[in-house]
Structure 1
Amino acid sequence: MGDVKVDDDAILKSFLAEVGEVERDNEVVRILSCFKLNPFEHLNLSFDSSTDDVKRQYRKISLMVHPDKCKHPQAQEAFGALAKAQQLLLNDQERDYILTQVQAAKEELKMKRKKQLKKDTASKIKSLVDEGKHEQIYEQSEEFQKELKLKVREILTDQEWRRRKMAMRISEEEGRLKKDEEEQKEIRKKKREHEEQWEGTRENRVSSWRDFMKAGKKAKKGETRPPKLKTEDPNKSYVQRPVKKG
């Protein structure tokens, strides 16, 4: 009987270990399925969480999905996503940017609710009687938090798309400027090479011109000179034919 009890304990421990591993795997899947632009989702935190909450939650979840403790093939990827989420939320500038989008999402949902209340007289009266308490309760409700999460996704996606489009335009403009600069460099290079080549043949050109001028002054014997115009011919149409000497 004692042996049977030991076996039961072993089976129980094995079962608990399997359950623990399943939970780790599920956490990896959850992290990797989160909206990539919202680090609060990766850490499974609400938007009003403090930096201490971020650090505490990171320590808790990171132990679950750490590659040394979790056998899931994508544990390393999930662990990296978790670390990046913590880094973003501990960066004041990044955190403020995300919270600004969260506030914008809240304002949109509030405006939407006001329009709905105008159509629903009973809800409008209840809201006035409760002096705003009804709205506060609604904002803390699961329904509102779900809508807020989706709206934040929508706004962050839109902002990211705008950012990428702007980055693309900047990249295209930089590419165009770089191409123009390279073309100008090529033009200047060819001009410089032409000037250097022209300057390099200067002596030959000068020498050839001097030889030509010397040859023109000394006509060889028996050589026919070019015809000359008669000065007394007003139309300068008469030319003296060359006469051979000797």
Structure 2
Amino acid sequence: MADAEDAGAGPGPSSAAEAGNEPAEEAPHRATVEELEQLDPEDLLKAFFSDLRDVDRDNEVNRILWAFKLNPFEKLALTFDATPEDVKKQYRKLSLMVHPDKCKHPQASTAFDILGEAQKELMDDEKREHLLKWLDMARDEVRKERKKETKHDNLVRVASLLHEEGREGLEAEYEKSEEFHERWKMKARDVLARSEWRKRKLGKRLKEETLRLEGKEQEAKEKHKAKKQHEKQWEETRDQRVTGWHDYLKGGGNKKSTGMLKPPKLKTNDEEKLYVQRPVGEQHRPPPAKSAGPKKD
């Protein structure tokens, strides 16, 4: 009876697999989170790059080329609170992705150099502190704007009352969100751009002032040089002047006496001329007074 039932029963899964022309394909194994956590970081990187396509590499090159020039965090696609260790890991990951030997993008080499400069700047303590000063300023501005925006927001007020740590805890959670980091990033661009503009303007003024001072210094040097040249020529012609003076003295000097005043020469009447020549001064003398005697008839 049992044999009849077994014979009449339809083929099960195992018999169906055997009856088929092709064996059943096994589903690909997907690693679980626990398995991924146990893998070595090197193995994780290899697995990541094995799945990369050329289009992914090209997109990353374009992202780096168009990243904000004044912020190395954006070039490395990092949040502004990233640690130096985060910088090292991210640089290694992205540099392997856009390496010119593996990426066919024509500007892969340029993107690779940009990543290197960004990593170098963030690993320099002095430059990093200078950048973080401006980023902190941008974050403070975002916080002020949020405080002003949510001042009369009832939802935020209720949420802060329900939160275990009150308003501070609520804001701490908000600052971990993507929305906050996006606002922080945009505000940082504005702050860094204004800082760079002031820096360039000040640099231009300093350059103009330097050129002005250099011009005055050059002018003073030329005047001093001309004075020295004149003094040199004066010394070189000293003997010539002394010799000329001695020759002048030997020749008797100026025979005309210039220290005495001479009266003007008297002019006499010339019969051939109808007028009497007088010295220039006599032309302006008043005429002699007429006698007051009686008139003759």
Structure 2 length as normaliser, TM-score?
0.67
Letter in 1 for 2:131: I
Of 211, 214, 217, 2:247 maps to 211
Of 214, 235, 247, 1:199 maps to 235
- Residue of structure 1 equivalent to 2:24: none
Separation in structure 2 between the aligned mates of residue 183 and residue 75 of structure 1, nearest angstrom: 52
Q: Deviations over 1:48-84 (max 9, x none)?
A: 1111111111111111112222221111111111000
Identify unmatched segments of 5+ residues in structure 1. Answer: 1-15, 220-224, 231-235, 241-246
Separation in structure 2 between the aligned mates of residue 38 and residue 122 of structure 1, nearest angstrom: 35
**Which structure carries more relative contact order (alpha carbon 8 Å, separation 6+)?**
1
Separation in structure 2 between the aligned mates of residue 38 and residue 92 of structure 1, nearest angstrom: 15
Preserved CA contact (<8 Å) 1:229 1:237: no
- Residue of structure 2 equivalent to 1:168: 204
Separation in structure 1 between the aligned mates of residue 120 and residue 87 of structure 2, nearest angstrom: 10
- Residue of structure 2 equivalent to 1:83: 116
Of 161, 170, 185, 2:221 maps to 185
Separation in structure 1 between the aligned mates of residue 65 and residue 230 of structure 2, nearest angstrom: 62
Equivalences, count: 214
- How many angstroms does 1:44 deviate by? 1.0
Of 95, 104, 112, 1:71 maps to 104
Preserved CA contact (<8 Å) 1:65 1:79: yes
- How many angstroms does 1:129 deviate by? 4.4
Of 27, 31, 37, 2:70 maps to 37
Preserved CA contact (<8 Å) 1:229 1:238: no
User: After TM superposition, where is structure 1 displaced by more than 3 Å over at least 4 residues in a row?
Assistant: 16-19, 227-230, 236-240
Preserved CA contact (<8 Å) 1:24 1:70: yes
Of 135, 142, 146, 1:109 maps to 142
The answer on 1:149 being equivalent to 2:185 is yes
- How many angstroms does 1:195 deviate by? 1.2
- Residue of structure 2 equivalent to 1:51: 84
Greater percentage in helix: 1
Instruction: Say if 1:79 and 1:162 are closer, same or farther in 2 by CA, change over 3 A.
Output: same
Instruction: Say if 1:125 and 1:18 are closer, same or farther in 2 by CA, change over 3 A.
Output: closer
Letter in 2 for 1:226: K
Letter in 2 for 1:68: D
SS in 1 for 2:150: helix
- Residue of structure 2 equivalent to 1:140: 176
Structure 1 length as normaliser, TM-score?
0.80
- Residue of structure 2 equivalent to 1:3: none
Of 252, 256, 268, 1:226 maps to 256
Separation in structure 2 between the aligned mates of residue 69 and residue 159 of structure 1, nearest angstrom: 38
Identify unmatched segments of 5+ residues in structure 2. Answer: 1-48, 266-297
- How many angstroms does 1:170 deviate by? 1.2
RMSD: 2.4
